[in-house]
Amino acid sequence: MFIYTVQPGDNLSLLSRRFDVPVSQIAADNGLSSPNNLAVGQNLVIMSDIMRYRVEEGQTMYSIAREFEIPLNTLLEANPDVNPIALQIGDEILIPQQRELSLRPAVINGYAYPTITDYALNCALPSLTFLSPFSYSISPRGEIFAPNDDAMIEKARNAGVMPLMTVTNIYEGTFSTEVMSEILADTEARENMISNILAELAAKDYYGLNLDIEYISPDDRESYNSFLREISERLHTAGYILVTAVAPKYRADQQGILYESHDYAVQGEAADYVVIMTYEWGYTYSSPMSVQPIEEVRKVLSYAVTEIPSEKILMGMPNYGYDWTLPYTRGEAASSIGFTAATELATRYNSEILYDEKTQTPYFYYTENGVRHVVWFDDPRSIEAKLGLVEKFDLAGVSYWTVNRCYIPNWLVAQSMFEPVKL
């Protein structure tokens, strides 16, 4: 597999000849609804093991090998009829794609709203270990309220994917600090919540619990730690696993209601897997920026592995970007946008897609009805860079928020790097 950056003058016919892959396959693999139109700077997944390359001025076989990060001997073996000493400008040589003999096993979780289409669900399921329908909500008395997830569970099981019961402290449409405080302070409500969860796990034959409790009062930190230990013991005794979701922290004493009660050390002890929500640096009301700047994710993971066993960590992966109007005005909302829609937008307005090396994220500008916009999103190049952190930090795998949008290149990149664990 190659990730190719579109250059001025490129079209799919040229790329088809260069990589010996049918135009129809390149279009399908990249979700191109208008294959005749490409944006300069757009990154494409090309499912090929070889690329035809024309030598440019000043290049040698050694410099080309370094540019494409392949051993010189591999490049020479792929071009037995080429004299490396007499290389000329315009000579065509073959660039082989190195393939791993075995893929790294990875646990892959995908959150999904019940509104997910069959197309998007079928797009994701082959690459998933767990599907986490979002979500059960709770009341101050420990009651739980189910999403419409029966069809998703059945499809997941038929695909060999284990469903996880996702429970949040969402109450009346929003994460509620007060509801969780009431449950933690009331022994009866706490027992109701745990008992109701266990009953629902058995009734729907879930594989385990995915607990996403956010905006916990800092005053409830120790009570929540105690709750985690208790529910972990009860779940494990009953034969279920516990997955928890936590905010991205840089240090143990990080201030703020999102962070203070997420005790990484206790989460790492109690849970079988911990989803670290490494996204939302760029968010609905932020200034324009990457949703997942890679240098910030590195900082979070560098701390996380000191508190949580790395083999339990699932790094969060966003499946969305944002479209901001310019000039940015504080308090003005950006619009969420899918990755396919983002590249289609760039193509429609003939925008060049730029790439920010520091954050490893693509972005572009366009003007509509006299209003300038900037879009930050992800593409195969940025996804590959961020998924590379799984190997760097020896993590268990990743967790996608959410899989409701089908972005085929993401799954092709993931499949080139990982073998999804199936239980």
Give all domains of the chain, ordered by start, each with its CATH number. 2-96 (3.10.350.10), 104-319+379-420 (3.20.20.80)
- Residue 219 DSSP class: G
33-37, 90-94, 250-254, 315-319: range with lowest mean pLDDT? 33-37
Please name every residue paired with 365 in a beta bridge, in sequence order, or none if there are none: 374
Average pLDDT over residues 292-321: 98
Give the integer Cα–Cα distance in Å for 314 and 387: 11
- Which of 31-35, 96-100, 121-125, 159-163 bottoms out in mean pLDDT, i.e. has the lowest? 96-100
Contacts of 158 (CB under 8 A, 6+ apart): none
Poorest-pLDDT segment among 93-97, 207-211, 406-410, 413-417: 93-97
pLDDT value at position 101? Answer: 61
Pairing of strands 208-212, 162-168: parallel
Instruction: Please give the backbone phi and psi of residue 167, each rounded to the nearest 5 degrees, phi first.
Output: -115, 130
Which residues 6+ apart lie within 8 Å of 192 measured at CB?
A: 141, 142, 143
C-alpha distances (whole Å) from 152 to each of 205, 211, 276, 400, 418 are 13, 18, 24, 16, 24
- Give the position of tokens 């959410």: 402
- Three-state SS at 246: strand
pLDDT at residue 418 tops 70 = yes
Kindly indicate the confidence band of residue 34, based on its pLDDT and cuts at 50, 70 and 90. Answer: confident
Whether pLDDT at 279 is above 70: yes
Confidence check: pLDDT of 98 > 80: no
Average pLDDT, the chain: 96
The predicted structure's pLDDT at residue 37: 87
CB 45 within 8 A of CB 380: yes
Collapsing DSSP to helix, strand or coil, 333 comes out as: coil
* Residue 213: per-residue pLDDT: 98
135 upstream amide cis, omega within 30 of 0 = yes
Q: What is the pLDDT of residues 312-326, one digit of tens each?
A: 999 999 999 999 999
- Residue 343 CB contacts under 8 Å (≥ 6 apart), including other chains: 39, 42, 353, 377, 379
56: Cα separation from own chain's centroid: 36
pLDDT of residue 345: 97
Q: What pLDDT, on a 0 to 100 scale, did the predictor assign at position 330?
A: 95
- Asked if the model's pLDDT at residue 108 lies above 70, the reply is yes
Q: What does the alpha-carbon distance between residue 343 and residue 405 come to, in Å, rounded to a whole number?
A: 14
What angle, 0 to 180 degrees and rounded to 10, lies between the N-to-C axes of helices 408-417 and 380-392?
30
C-alpha span between 344 and 38 (Å, rounded)? 9
CA 3 to chain centre: 18
Q: Establish whether 214 is a catalytic residue.
A: yes
Above 80 in pLDDT, residue 62? yes
Q: Is the pLDDT of residue 423 over 90?
A: no
Dihedral (CA of 347, 348, 351, 357) sign:
negative
Alpha-carbon gap, residue 288 to 283, rounded angstroms? 8
3 CB-near residues (< 8 Å, 6+ apart): 43, 44, 45, 46, 380, 381, 384, 413
Which member of 214, 307, 344, 384 is catalytic? 214
Residues in the chain: 423
Name which of 290, 291, 287 is nearest 279 in CA terms: 291
Q: Which two tokens stand for residue 342?
A: 């983002």
Per-residue confidence band for 100, with pLDDT thresholds at 50, 70 and 90: low
Least confident of 96-105, 120-129, 325-334: 96-105
Query: Which pair of tokens denotes residue 183?
Result: 């449950």
Closest CA to 418 of 317, 341, 290: 317
pTM for the full predicted model: 0.94
Q: Helix %, strand %, coil % for the chain, to 5?
A: 35, 25, 40
Strands (E) across 21-173 are located at 43-46, 50-54, 92-96, 104-112, 130-133, 137-138, 144-145, 162-168, 170-171
